[in-house]
Amino acid sequence: MGYKHIPVMLKEVLEYLDPKSGQEFIDCTLGGAGYTVEIAKRVGATGKVLAIDLDKLAIENAKKVFKKTRLRQGYGGQVKNVILIYGNFKNLQKIIKEEFKGERDKFDGIVFDLGLSSAQLEDKSRGFSFQLDAPLDMAFGQETGNRKQETEFIINNYKQEELTKILREYGEEKFARRIARKIVDYRNDKSIKTTGQLVYIIESAVPAIYKNNLRHSGARKIHFATRTFQALRIATNKELESIEIALPQAVDLLRKGGRIAVISYHSLEDRIVKRFFKKESKSCLCPPDIPICQCGHKTQIKILTKKIVLPSEEEIKINPRARSAKMRVAEKI
């Protein structure tokens, strides 16, 4: 499989995180290894980058990327100042504890890129992309261990009301009810097993004007199946729940002055990050009518991006996937 992943807002991420020789970072979403490679170059041989991904495909692709860069120093595709970890970032503190055995528990910077990599979208054995006819498997980790979390199970077994809720809340799909009804009607005759079947169902459910004129941010046309696929991927991987669990752990792992950068692609993801940053930048969470603080909450971070950071027009031209990216950055105090 060809590998063409371009890290989103790499320039901005490096400017905010400002990695220096000897420092230690965590890339919670290895993906195409773009951030990991560039940070590793800057921290040098005395620094360290711990890179995590729940997708084994990302781990293997990272090794190939390393071989093509000046980071090629070690054996088996590994490099001396990068540690590759197969795991879920919601278990961040557990991963750090197991990897370093208590010898290291603070880092200079942490980055999350919550989007899909090119390798995932191009994998013909997976169902991330509606442009390929593939099995309905949108799990980041191929061994979920829970049948009820698999995309195919969700499509073929969830009630119409449950499917509608998933499509409406996670995909912000305005024709959620119509699509859910068509899914249920279709599966009454035969099981839905491929992305091709699902695209056909969605196409039959939405009006022609929606298929021809659906626009994103009032500018760029997007495929009529985009929102449904996004919603099912989020539901399959419990992505929003994982973000909520991971963010407090990440802040706790930062050294004073350490920074956390989060790039999201969905309004619900960005909302979670925004709320968390706002909460942790306050010294008190008590209601305004309570004159003396009783919560005991302490300010943990300073928000560095008062407004979200968006990709430049030049970057969007080069990398269209960056168009919906939003970045927020905070610093540990």
- Domains annotated on the chain, with CATH: 10-119+240-332 (3.40.50.150), 129-237 (1.10.150.170)
The pTM of this model reads 0.85
Do 41 and 54 contact (CB within 8 A), yes or no? no
Among candidate residues 120, 94, 111, 145, the one with its CA nearest the CA of residue 15: 111
pLDDT computed for residue 82 by the predictor: 93
Q: Compute mean pLDDT per 10 residues along the chain, 333 residues long, and list them.
A: 64 97 96 92 93 89 81 53 94 94 89 73 54 78 55 95 96 95 96 94 90 54 85 91 97 98 94 97 84 84 96 91 92 97
Q: Which two tokens stand for residue 196?
A: 């091709």
Q: CB under 8 Å to 95, separation ≥6 — which residues?
A: 50, 52, 85, 87
pLDDT computed for residue 137 by the predictor: 82
Please give the Cα distance from 165 to 170 (Å, whole number).
8
pLDDT computed for residue 58 by the predictor: 86
Do 232 and 138 contact (CB within 8 A), yes or no? yes
3-state class of 245 per DSSP? Answer: helix
pLDDT computed for residue 235 by the predictor: 92
Q: Specify burial of residue 79 (Cβ count, 10 A radius: 0-12, 13-18, 19+).
A: buried
Please give the Cα distance from 36 to 27 (Å, whole number).
6
Do 227 and 215 contact (CB within 8 A), yes or no? no
Question: How many distinct helices (H) and strands (E) make up the chain?
Answer: 14, 9
Residue carrying structure tokens 């919670």: 28
- CB half-sphere exposure, 42, CA atoms < 13 A: 18
- CB half-sphere exposure, 107, CA atoms < 13 A: 28
Beta bridge partners of 309: 327
Q: Which two tokens stand for residue 19?
A: 């990695």
Q: Which two tokens stand for residue 260?
A: 């956390």
DSSP string, 168-226: HHHH--TTHHHHHHHHHHHHTTS---BHHHHHHHHHHHS-HHHHHH-EETTTEE--TTH
Measured CA to CA in angstroms, residue 81 lies from 14, 117, 144, 250, 270 at distances of 18, 23, 30, 20, 31
Residue carrying structure tokens 């692609």: 265
